[in-house]
Structure 1
Amino acid sequence: MTYLSFMNKNYNPLEQQSNDEILKTRLKIQNTDYIRDIINGLPYITAILNSYRQVIFSNETLLQQLNISSIDEVIGLRPGEVIHCVNSNKEEGGCGASENCKVCGVFLSILQAQKTKGKSQYECRIKAMHDGMEIAFDYLATSNPIIWENEEFIIFSLTDISSEKRRKALEKTFFHDIINKAGSLQGFIQLIQSVSDIETIQKYTHLASDISQELISEILSQRQLIAAENNELAISIERVESISIMSSLIREISNQKISQNIQVIMDEKSTSEYIHTDINLLRRVLLNMLKNAVEASEKGDFVIISGELSNSRYVFKVHNSKFISKDIQLQIFQRSFSTKGMNRGLGTYSMKLFVENYLNGKVHFESNELNGTTFYVELPYFETV
């Protein structure tokens, strides 16, 4: 079900219950032993919400897992505000008011429970701010409606499924891709062993070498992602030239199977500049952008990479002619979201993680039906003599 199917025509995200009413209800729940004991006995983040989605009461697990010292800090807040979701302060109405909230599993779970009067569960991907950094979480949001003393409430819980989602992503993408590439490599080695013609052997050897390089790249990419998420990634800053990076990436992507019948070119207006960055991380990010653009394109399409100085930053751009629908746009950069199927979705997430947490840059995109889609990587530029 979608956001629109839940919406009441009178829904107003700005509407909230008064503090006096919230405190009065909280005291009643706090003084009702069986409710307090049941909620506190649950091993996952749990809160009782009023009909305005505000927290009336929470369990000890919520306070412990979110490092909150007192329940007073969360009373009257909405779930996204409690967990410091990056979208919860975009609009005046807070959690539930931004465009991103329309595809949020937390929000949809609560709305569905309120509408159907039954239990509702949604997986949700949340980016939260902690110590000045964005942290990605995967939760299972569960909402159970109850009536207590003639008032409607929601028993709301969050179960952290991040480890499960990451394990499935490893199994679905990393191990699957590694096995496929290893199988291809084995096949070419067997072909090399079966032929005696020198020219054919050289051809197969070259192809086998390309596959082995891709295999190593896949392994290193996964290792870098794990290190980055654990704040353990070591980077090596060096002086690199922009045009040469883009040219080498065009050669690399053009030799891959996914680029058949797609023309990957560099904008002739691109400017040559020297930037200080980690070339391996930058190449990985830009190659990922190119792969996404190529995979979204059709036979005969162009994918254009470019780079130029803008406001003391060097900006790389990757453009393709296809439009990304609004519901997908709202979920790009979330850890487990992918248009390529279940249990995938590390591409755009890792791009943002590497660039913004390690290269001191910024990643963003634009997409509309008239101009197609452009992804941007902005890096700091320091003029050198």
Structure 2
Amino acid sequence: MPAQARPQAETFFLPAERASRREVQYIAERVASEGLLRTLLDSIPGLGFIINRERQIVAVNNRMLRDLGVSEPKSLIGKRPGEALRCLHATEMPAGCGTTETCTTCGLARAIYESLETGERITKECRISLRTDKDPALDMEVVAAPAKIEGCDLTLCVMRDISGEKRRRVLERLFFHDVMNTAGGLQGLALLIAESSEDSEEDREVKEALVEASNTLVEEIQGQRDLLAAESGDLGAHPETIKVETLVLSVQDVLGNHRVSEGRFLEVEAANGPSLTTDLVLARRVLINMVKNALEATPRGGTVTLRCEDRGECVTFLVHNPEVMPKEVQLQIFKRSFTTKGEAGRGIGTYSVKLLGERYLGGQVGFTSEEPAGTTFHWTVPKEWRIHD
């Protein structure tokens, strides 16, 4: 006699049908008998669990038991993830987690679905609303990856709490928005004051210094904002065709009278340079950081040179200073927060050069540093814009 088909339950998204209690228990016992798998599951620092094709839990790690306040894993076996996590929407449909209309936008449900469909590791973010007043929502990063035990297709799921990261990003955006408004207002006032006439030579120097300080403040804030966005993958590039000479001279305009140039000479060679298509703001930031680092490393009376070379399909920018970096500095120069100045929080100049110059502008950054030639940082960037991942 053929097996009777299970009745179809209503669903807005994923299949509603569940495996029988006996089937779930069988797989749970097989997983529990795999000692290495259990050890690996418990070594996961976040929430870890394994589900069958019907998305029912067959194993959980100790971290998940502890965070959910559950003493025995058997109380979670057979439940779907949202039901175990006490998702607010898991009870909206008779078939539970994965079948409600809200589930169509759930990162956890979509990661599981895509992993089951493609057989690949899928990573997504999700926000889970909980049936509790203590922590009403969880911001989680979810990784779903295929697994197989004794011929059974399973999915390993790992969830990491990213609530703190989310809050930090929101606060950073608010901070940069507010501080940029303040700095922009200061810059506008400085320009208005500088435009007034009938000043003494001393007054004009003070006004010029005020304008320069406000411009530097705005540039530094924008630089820090873009660096944080670049690290998180949220920075967008806006390519345009520019003359290399225009780019190089704009760097000279910014740094020519900058305090870091005091007592030092900045020589620029860019006459009749080629054109290239790139993000002007980011490219200028890369070169400004390259030149600033060179000026900071150069003793008073020394000279820093910025020049460019046309190399066919690419343009190479070279920044030279007469000093030589110690070997231990060379080995760490592109690491975040490494600094030779002994100040906490510094050391992002060369790091940002490599991050922006390579990942976002598609170039190659490097350096040479040896006696008697000194130190030269070089950035080679294609003339034609390419889409960079």
> Please, what TM-score do these two structures have when normalized by structure 2?
0.49
Q: Which structure is larger by alpha-carbon Rg, 1 or 2?
A: 2
* RCO comparison, higher one (Cα < 8 Å, 6+): 1
TM-score when normalising by structure 1: 0.50
